[in-house]
């Protein structure tokens, strides 16, 4: 069930990342570039909101919670998601920077973006670790573990789809 729903959802960002050079529009006028940048920002915002909505639906349909557990779980989940959004802001900033600079990424920029992307991964791992005992206060240990299994599977599918659409740095001409 998770795979089918996410597969449909993940088609949205494909156009954004298939051709980073087109997104950058280096030959466009400043007003066109600003409009394109604003449009891209809006598309990313909507994409992320849609992902969060679908993710919550998938968790709700796959994590079997009683009414009492749900009452305790969802406020913790919402706080977790808010913290995760803050971390992932940097992830999307790196992707946007990469797309905007496609074709002219320097060695220093490439290393900097790599470090920032790895830092995001580390922060997400730290956030998950921080929230294990918090979720465990709301729901039992097996359900906490199940939640993190589902959450990580969804995130892995999202990351795989995004990664498959981002060309390798060495492929810029």
Token pair for 43:
């598309």
Q: In the predicted model, is pLDDT for residue 125 greater than 60?
A: yes
pLDDT in tens, 133-164: 999 999 999 999 999 999 999 999 988 988 88
Distance separating alpha carbons of residues 144 and 63, to the nearest angstrom = 9
Total structural domains within the chain:
1
Range of the domain at 75: 2-171
CA 111-115-116 angle, 5° bins? 120
CB 73 within 8 A of CB 56: no
CA 84-33-106 angle, 5° bins? 70
Confidence (pTM): 0.76
pLDDT in tens, 80-116: 999 999 999 999 899 888 888 888 999 999 999 999 9
Average pLDDT of the chain to the nearest whole number = 81
CB 13 within 8 A of CB 161: yes
Q: In the predicted model, is pLDDT for residue 4 greater than 60?
A: no
């Amino acid at each position: 069930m998770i795979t089918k729903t996410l597969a449909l959802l993940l088609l949205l960002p494909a156009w954004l990342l298939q051709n980073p050079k087109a997104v950058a529009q280096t030959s466009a006028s400043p007003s066109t570039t600003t409009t394109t940048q604003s449009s891209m920002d809006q598309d990313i915002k909507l994409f992320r909101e849609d992902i969060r909505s679908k993710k919550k639906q998938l968790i709700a349909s796959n994590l079997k919670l009683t009414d009492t557990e749900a009452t305790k779980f969802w406020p913790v989940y919402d706080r977790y998601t808010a913290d995760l959004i803050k971390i992932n802001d940097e992830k999307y900033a790196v992707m946007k920077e990469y797309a905007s600079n496609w074709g002219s990424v320097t060695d220093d920029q490439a290393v900097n973006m790599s470090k920032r992307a790895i830092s995001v991964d580390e922060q997400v791992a730290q956030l998950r670790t921080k929230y294990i005992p918090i979720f465990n206060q709301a729901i039992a240990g097996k359900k906490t573990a199940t939640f993190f299994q589902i959450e990580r599977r969804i995130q892995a599918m999202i990351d795989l789809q995004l990664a498959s659409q981002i060309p390798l740095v060495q492929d810029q001409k």
